[in-house]
C-alpha cells in the first residue's frame, strides 16, 4: 500500500506517537511519550527493567490498547485498523511464543497460515528464511531441544514470513551468548539494508549503538533523551571516561581528592568514573596526585554513560 | 471474519496429528467398554430386577446408551475447552502468537471453537457407531441423536471456554471437574431417571444443559418420550447456553489476550 505524501513533500513517519500513554489500573507504565519512526529507519528504545519498553512495543504491535494520546502505525489507527496494521508487521516478542511440541518448519507454516498465505508460498519462504537464520538443517526437528539462541532465530524467521514492512523486536538478543548476538545483529543489519524498518528495545548499549540510527532513552515510562547514539554521547557525556577502582574501603577517602580533575565525577558503589576529554592525561594527573587505584581504565564514552547521566542509575545491574 | 477465524484450524490439526493415534484409540474404545460393562453387564442385573417400568419399558442398555452419549459429549467438551485453552493463554501462549497476526482475540476463539466442535463430533460419532453395534438405535429418528449430542457439547464448550480463558492456572479446572462436570455426568439422567432424585436435586438437574441433551438423545434413539414441542424446547435451551457462552467467551478472550 503506498504511503500518503506528507503536506511538506517529505515522507510521513511510518510510526508516530503523541502523548502516548499506557495505564494498568492506576499504574502508569508509559507516561505520555512522543516519537516518530521514519520508513527504513532503525529505531531503538533503550532503558532498564520496567521502563515501559515492552508496553510501548505492544501498543505499536496493536495487541495492547492505547490508554491515552495518539498512535499511528503505517499511517493507520490501531483502534480501527489493528488487523490491517498487524498484517504488515513482523513481531519478535520479549518472550518466545513458539510451539515447542511442533517442528521448526511447522512453526513457520502455522504462522504463515495466520496471515492467510497459501501453502506453496509458505513452503518457499520457509526454505529461504531457515537458510537466512541458519536453521535449515533443523527444519524437521522439534523446537523443544533447540538452544535459546536457535529459538530466538526461529522467532525472527517466523516474524519475517509475511515479508513485513516493519519489524518489532523486543529484546531480540537477551540471553544470547556474544557470538550468537553478533550473528543476529548481522542478520538484522541485512534486513535493514533490504529496506525493512526496525523498531527494537534493548538494555544493551552496544546493541543500540550497533543497530540504531536513532534511539530514545526511556526511564520510568518517560523519554529522557532522544537522538543518534553519537548525538546522545556528545550531548550527555564527554569523549572519554577514566574508570578507577580502589581497594576495600578506600573509595570514600579518595573521592574528595579527584576534585577538578574531570568535568564530572560519578561515584558508583564499586568504582569512580571521571568524565574527561583526554583520559590518558587525566590518569597521569591522578597518579601525580599520589592516588593509587587498584585498577585504572581509560575508555570511550558509551550510551551507558549517557544513561547514568540522565537517570543517575546504571542500565544493567 | 469467518474465514479469517478459520486460519488457525491448521494449527489445531497439526497439533492433533502429533497425538491422534492414542486419542483416536480411546475415542473408539471407551464407548465400547462402557456399553459392554455398564449396559450389558450391569444392565442384565437391572433388567432382571424388573425396573423396566421406571425406564419407560426398555432395556437398561437401551436406556443408558443415549444418556451416556450426551454425558460424553459434555465431558469431551469440558476437556477440549479447559486444558487446551490454558495452553493458549498461559502455558504455550499460542493465542498470543496468533493475535500478533491479523487474527483478533474473538477470531482466535472462534477458530479454536470450530476445532473443539470437530473433536466433540468425532467422539460423538464414535459413540453412535458403538451404539449401533450394540443394537441400541431403536427408532428411525436415531440419527438425530448425533446432532443432538454435538449441540449438547457446544452448550458446554462455550461457557467452559469463557471460564477457562479467565484462569491464571489450572487450580480452577480441578474444581470445575470435581464440582461441575463430574456431578452432572452422574446425576443428570444418563444412568437413572432424575425422577429418582429428591425434589430439590431434581430441579437442579432440570436446569443443567446436559439433562436436556440426555432427554433429546434418548428421545431420538428410543423413538418415545419426545414431542416436536419438547424437542424444540430442549434444543432451544441448549442453543441458549451455546449462544450466551459464545458471547461471554469472546469477552473473556479479549480480556485475557488484549491488555
Ligand atoms: N499486563 C500488565 N498489568 C499490570 N502491569 C503491567 C502489565 N504489563 C506491564 N506492567 C507494568 O508496567 C511497567 C512497564 O513494563 P514493561 O514490560 O513495559 O517494561 P520494560 O521496559 O519492557 O521492562 P523489561 O526490560 O524488564 O522488559 C512495569 O512496572 C510492569 O510491571
Ligand atoms: Mg520488556
- Our answer on whether the CB atom of A49 is closer than 6 Å to any ligand 1 atom is yes
Instruction: Find the CB nearest A86 among B7, B15, B101.
Output: B101
Q: What is the pTM of this model?
A: 0.92
Domain boundary among A209, A228, A247: A228
Q: Is the pLDDT of residue A10 over 80?
A: no
Q: Which chain B residues in 55-94 lie under 8 Å from chain A, judged by CB atoms?
A: 92-94
Task: Look up residue A242 and give its DSSP letter.
Answer: E
Distance CA A201, CA A45 (A): 5
Domain that holds residue A50: 15-228
Domain boundary among A228, A254, A283: A228
Instruction: Find the CB nearest A113 among B10, B92, B99.
Output: B10
Cβ atoms of A92 and A169 closer than 8 Å: yes
The CATH number of residue A57's host domain is 3.40.50.300
Is residue A2 very low, low, confident or very high in pLDDT (cuts 50, 70, 90)? very low
Is residue A247 one of the residues assigned to a domain?
yes
Is residue A290 very low, low, confident or very high in pLDDT (cuts 50, 70, 90)? confident
* Same domain assignment for residues A135 and A253: no
* Same domain assignment for residues A157 and A247: no
More confident residue, B50 or B180: B180
Q: Is A279 helix (H, G, I), strand (E, B) or coil?
A: helix
Answer whether B11 sits within 8 Å of A113, measured CB to CB. yes
Q: Is the pLDDT of residue A177 over 60?
A: yes
Residues A80-111 have pLDDT tens digits of: 999 999 999 999 999 999 999 999 999 999 99
Task: Specify the pLDDT at position A248.
Answer: 78
Residues A104-122 have pLDDT tens digits of: 999 999 999 999 999 999 9
Task: Specify the pLDDT at position A315.
Answer: 65
Residues flanking ion ligand 2, Cβ below 5 Å? A 53-54, 94
How near does any CA of chain A get to the CA of B21, in Å? Answer: 16
Distance CA B5, CA B246 (A): 14
Q: Is the pLDDT of residue A6 over 80?
A: no
Residues A182-237 have pLDDT tens digits of: 888 998 999 999 999 999 999 888 899 889 999 999 999 999 999 999 999 999 99
Residues B76-99 have pLDDT tens digits of: 999 999 999 999 999 999 999 999
How near does any CA of chain B get to the CA of A268, in Å? Answer: 38
The CATH number of residue A293's host domain is 3.30.70.980
Cβ atoms of A195 and A166 closer than 8 Å: no
Residue of B3, B90, B94, B99 best to disrupt the A interface, most CBs of A under 10 A: B99
Q: Which helix or strand (DSSP H or E) is residue A125 part of?
A: helix A119-132
Cβ atoms of B243 and B159 closer than 8 Å: no
* Same domain assignment for residues A31 and A81: yes
Residue appearing with cell numbers 590518558: A280
- Our answer on whether the CB atom of A60 is closer than 6 Å to any ligand 1 atom is no
Q: Is the pLDDT of residue B246 over 90?
A: yes
Alpha carbon separation from A143 to A10, A154, B58, B97, B170 (Å, rounded): 45, 9, 55, 15, 25
- As separate numbers, helices (DSSP H) first and strands (DSSP E) second, chain B gives 13, 0
Alpha carbon separation from B201 to B184, B207, B218, B230 (Å, rounded): 11, 10, 21, 21
* Same domain assignment for residues A22 and A153: yes
User: How many independent structural domains does chain A possess?
Assistant: 2
Is residue A308 very low, low, confident or very high in pLDDT (cuts 50, 70, 90)? confident
- Our answer on whether the CB atom of A216 is closer than 6 Å to any ligand 1 atom is no
Q: Is B153 helix (H, G, I), strand (E, B) or coil?
A: helix
Is residue A218 one of the residues assigned to a domain?
yes
Task: Specify the pLDDT at position A4.
Answer: 47
How near does any CA of chain A get to the CA of B201, in Å? Answer: 42
Is residue A49 one of the residues assigned to a domain?
yes
Alpha helices in A173-213 (DSSP H): 178-193, 205-211
- Our answer on whether the CB atom of A283 is closer than 6 Å to any ligand 1 atom is no
**φ, ψ of residue A91 in degrees (nearest 5):** -125, 125
Q: Which helix or strand (DSSP H or E) is residue B140 part of?
A: none
* Same domain assignment for residues A143 and A88: yes
Q: What is the ipTM of this complex?
A: 0.91
Mean residue pLDDT of chain B comes to: 94
Cβ atoms of A111 and B7 closer than 8 Å: no
Question: Per mean pLDDT, which range of A195-209, B20-34, B85-99, B105-119 is the poorest?
Answer: B20-34
Answer whether A99 sits within 8 Å of B10, measured CB to CB. no
* Same domain assignment for residues A244 and A100: no
* Same domain assignment for residues A190 and A267: no
Is residue A8 one of the residues assigned to a domain?
no
Ranges of each domain in chain B: 5-257
Q: Which residues make Cβ contacts (< 8 Å) with residue A139, sequence separation at least 6?
A: A103, A104, A105, A126, A130
Task: Specify the pLDDT at position B184.
Answer: 96
Average pLDDT over residues A273-299: 91
Distance CA A110, CA B109 (A): 16
Domain boundary among A228, A246, A273: A228
> What percentage of chain B's residues is helix, strand, coil (to nearest 5)?
80, 0, 20
A102-137 b/e (C-beta count within 10 Å ≥ 16 → b): bbbbbbbbbbbbbbebeeeebeebbeebbebbebee
Task: Specify the pLDDT at position B54.
Answer: 79
Is residue A8 very low, low, confident or very high in pLDDT (cuts 50, 70, 90)? low
Amino acid at each position: 500500500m503506498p504511503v500518503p505524501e506528507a503536506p511538506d513533500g517529505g515522507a510521513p513517519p511510518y510510526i508516530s506517537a503523541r502523548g502516548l500513554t499506557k495505564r494498568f489500573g492506576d499504574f502508569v507504565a508509559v507516561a505520555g511519550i512522543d516519537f516518530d519512526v521514519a520508513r527504513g529507519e532503525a529505531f531503538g528504545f533503550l532503558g532498564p527493567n520496567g521502563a515501559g519498553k515492552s508496553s510501548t512495543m505492544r501498543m505499536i504491535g496493536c495487541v495492547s490498547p492505547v490508554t491515552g494520546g495518539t498512535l499511528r502505525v503505517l499511517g493507520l489507527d490501531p483502534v480501527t485498523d489493528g488487523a490491517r496494521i498487524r498484517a504488515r508487521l513482523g513481531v519478535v516478542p520479549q518472550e518466545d511464543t513458539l510451539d515447542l511440541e511442533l517442528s521448526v518448519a511447522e512453526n513457520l507454516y502455522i504462522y504463515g497460515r495466520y496471515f492467510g498465505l497459501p501453502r506453496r508460498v509458505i513452503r518457499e519462504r520457509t526454505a529461504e528464511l531457515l537458510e537466512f537464520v541458519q536453521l535449515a538443517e533443523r527444519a524437521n526437528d522439534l523446537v523443544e531441544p533447540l538452544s535459546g539462541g536457535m529459538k530466538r532465530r526461529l522467532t525472527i524467521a517466523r516474524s519475517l514470513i509475511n515479508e513485513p514492512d516493519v519489524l518489532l523486536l523486543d529484546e531480540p538478543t537477551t540471553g544470547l551468548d556474544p557470538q550468537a548476538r553478533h550473528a543476529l545483529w548481522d542478520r538484522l543489519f541485512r534486513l535493514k539494508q533490504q529496506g525493512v524498518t526496525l523498531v527494537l528495545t534493548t538494555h544493551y548499549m552496544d546493541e543500540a549503538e550497533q543497530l540504531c540510527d536513532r534511539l530514545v532513552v526511556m526511564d520510568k515510562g518517560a523519554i529522557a533523551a532522544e537522538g543518534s547514539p553519537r548525538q546522545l554521547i556528545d550531548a550527555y557525556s564527554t569523549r572519554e571516561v577514566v574508570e578507577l577502582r580502589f581497594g576495600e574501603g578506600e573509595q570514600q577517602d579518595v573521592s574528595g581528592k579527584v576534585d577538578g580533575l574531570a568535568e564530572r565525577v560519578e561515584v558508583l558503589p564499586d568504582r569512580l568514573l571521571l568524565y574527561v576529554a583526554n583520559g590518558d592525561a587525566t590518569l597521569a594527573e591522578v597518579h601525580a596526585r599520589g592516588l593509587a587505584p587498584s585498577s585504572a581504565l581509560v575508555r570511550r564514552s558509551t550510551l551507558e554513560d549517557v544513561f547514568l547521566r540522565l537517570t543517575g542509575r546504571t542500565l544493567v545491574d | 471474519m469467518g474465514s479469517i477465524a478459520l486460519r488457525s484450524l491448521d494449527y489445531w490439526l497439526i497439533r492433533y496429528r502429533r497425538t491422534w493415534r492414542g486419542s483416536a484409540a480411546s475415542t473408539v474404545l471407551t464407548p465400547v467398554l462402557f456399553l459392554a460393562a455398564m449396559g450389558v453387564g450391569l444392565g442384565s442385573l437391572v433388567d432382571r430386577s424388573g425396573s423396566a417400568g421406571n425406564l419407560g419399558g426398555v432395556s437398561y442398555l437401551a436406556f443408558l446408551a443415549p444418556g451416556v452419549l450426551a454425558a460424553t459429549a459434555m465431558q469431551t467438551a469440558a476437556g477440549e475447552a479447559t486444558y487446551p485453552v490454558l495452553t493458549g493463554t498461559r502455558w504455550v501462549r499460542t493465542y498470543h502468537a496468533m493475535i500478533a497476526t491479523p487474527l483478533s482475540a474473538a477470531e482466535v476463539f472462534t477458530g479454536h471453537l470450530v476445532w473443539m466442535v470437530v473433536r466433540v463430533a468425532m467422539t460423538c460419532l464414535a459413540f453412535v457407531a458403538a451404539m449401533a453395534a450394540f443394537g441400541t438405535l431403536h427408532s428411525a429418528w436415531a440419527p438425530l441423536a448425533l446432532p443432538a449430542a454435538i449441540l449438547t457439547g457446544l452448550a458446554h464448550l462455550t461457557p467452559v471456554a469463557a471460564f477457562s480463558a479467565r484462569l491464571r492456572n489450572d487450580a480452577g479446572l480441578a474444581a470445575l471437574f470435581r464440582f461441575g462436570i463430574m456431578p452432572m455426568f452422574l446425576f443428570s439422567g444418563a444412568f437413572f431417571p432424575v425422577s429418582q432424585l429428591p425434589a430439590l436435586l431434581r430441579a437442579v438437574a432440570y436446569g443443567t444443559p446436559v439433562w436436556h441433551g440426555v432427554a433429546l438423545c434418548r428421545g431420538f434413539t428410543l423413538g418415545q418420550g419426545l414431542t416436536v414441542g419438547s424437542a424444540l424446547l430442549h434444543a432451544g435451551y441448549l442453543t441458549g447456553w451455546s449462544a450466551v457462552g459464545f458471547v461471554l467467551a469472546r469477552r473473556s478472550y479479549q480480556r485475557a489476550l488484549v491488555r
